[in-house]
């Protein structure tokens, strides 16, 4: 099959993923529930993944897609750790709102 990007153009992909990435960022900035913050971060990562795939097709080169697997795996590991921390926090203070995490300051 011919390169689909010739019809659509890489820029659109870039814009799409940038938009997705920004959505993720804003999610992180404005949501107070830790879980949702995690999800926003996931959105950021996936935006990047999308772009990776797009670029790899654009360059006709598989490395990009391989890299996506790396990033997915890493993301998974990260989230695992994150959730673990979250659980212990929930055990200690019974809430998962990051607004409660203001004891360390000054």
3-state class of 45 per DSSP? Answer: helix
CA–CA dist 42, 57 (Å, integer): 23
Half-sphere exposure of 68 (CA within 13 A, CB side): 16
Question: Does residue 44 bind another protein (CB under 8 A)?
Answer: yes
C-alpha distances (whole Å) from 11 to each of 24, 28, 50 are 20, 25, 13
Q: Does 21 bind another protein (CB under 8 A)?
A: yes
Among 3, 33, 63, 95, binds another protein (CB under 8 A): 63
97 pairs with which residues across the strands? 33
15: contact with another protein by CB under 8 A: no
Residues near another protein, by CB under 8 A: 10, 14, 21, 24-25, 28-30, 32, 34, 37, 41, 44-45, 47-48, 51-52, 55-56, 58-59, 61, 63-64, 66-67, 70-71, 74, 77-78, 81-82, 84-86, 88-89, 92-93, 98-99, 101-106
């Amino acid at each position: 099959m011919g390169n689909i990007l010739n019809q659509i153009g890489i820029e659109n992909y870039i814009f799409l993923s940038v938009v997705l990435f920004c959505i993720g960022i804003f999610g992180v900035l404005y949501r107070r529930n830790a879980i949702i913050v995690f999800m926003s971060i996931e959105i950021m990562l996936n935006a990047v993944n999308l772009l990776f795939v797009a670029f790899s097709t654009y360059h006709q080169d598989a490395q990009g897609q391989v890299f996506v697997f790396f990033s997915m795996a890493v993301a998974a590991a990260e989230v695992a750790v994150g959730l673990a921390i979250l659980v212990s926090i929930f055990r200690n203070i019974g809430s998962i709102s990051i607004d409660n995490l203001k004891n360390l300051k000054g």
